[in-house]
Amino acid sequence: MQIYVIMKYMLLNKEIELKSTEKIRIDKFISDNSDFSRNEIKEIIDTYGVFVDGILVRKVKFMVNEGQTVVIKEKIQKEIDMIAQNIEIEVAYEDDHIIIINKKSGMVVHPAPGNKDGTLVNALLYHFKDLSDLNGVIRPGIVHRIDKHTSGLILIAKNNTSHKYFAQLIKEHKVNRFYKALVIGKMLNNVIHINVPIGRNINDRQKMTVTKLNSKEAITHVFPEKVYKNYTLVRCELETGRTHQIRVHLKYVNFPIVGDPTYGRTLDDFNQRLHAYKLSFIHITGEFLEIESELPKEFFQNIDLDL
């Protein structure tokens, strides 16, 4: 049975600040450096939401010069149908404050253009009565995200108090997140420490890349666990949480993740072999909590693992 909840939401006073490194049209600059569509950018400009060095921008053809600062004040009202769907999900842990879900590869975390249903949020709305609402109606309970094709553990907040607590822990890098990945190539190092900044790819806004332009610090530690003839199973520990961080960093050091549809090539329907297998943190109760999950059975399918 599907339960339909039709809601409206308003994103107010959400500011994004960017600095231009070249002379470029304002709409293209914002598109290259954000997740906004061209239509959304035009709407933001039309509703007085874009400023360059403090001056209001009124046209999408406005030219931004190198060194100028662009501030986007997002004030877009949208209507969305939130559907509670009876989708099977695996609960790895639950108490009065949080839920930890072992997400399947291929499942989007929350609704977005092109993914209005079938997401983890749609499943959460069906299976759980109480979820925090700090992130609005399209992301109830969502404290952090993992990629669509990444499987594994994701923390969900049942109330706003726990949401604020865990969001602050994540901001302070006090939620320890551990991943396992199967990469192409034999990694013979004992450990690889990757510390290179990540930003949006200026040639493809759907991708991230290692770059010094409009980027943020990104640190990943990679530990080989088992070396095969043509592959290596690695453990990854994050110090930062940038978009696509592990995928971009592993490709950068020439060990791309098997089946990565964005930074490599698709192998099968399971896609990338990247699994968030462990979370550890000090709970809001004051106790230390560590939750682990096993690799999905599909992780090694269609792969020749000769030693």
Residue 101: phi and psi, rounded to 5, are: -100, 140
- Annotate 105-143 with DSSP letters as a single string: TT--SS-BTTBSSSSHHHHHHHH-S----TT-TTSTTBS
Residue of 143, 65, 54 lying closest to 99 (CA atoms): 143
Tell me if 273 sits within 8 A of 233, measured CB to CB. Answer: no
- Collect all residues with Cβ–Cβ distance below 8 Å to 221 and sequence separation of at least 6: 191, 192, 193, 194, 236, 237, 238, 239
* Residue 164 DSSP SS3: helix
Tokens representing residue 276 in the block: 């968030």
From 32, 95, 147, 269, active-site residue? 147
46 is a catalytic site residue: no
**CA end-to-end span of the chain, whole Å?**
49
- Side-chain-side CA neighbours of residue 215 (13 Å): 20
CA distance 110 to 131: 14
- Closest C-alpha to 244, from 198, 290, 276: 198
Structure tokens, 285: 């109760």
Catalytic residues: 147
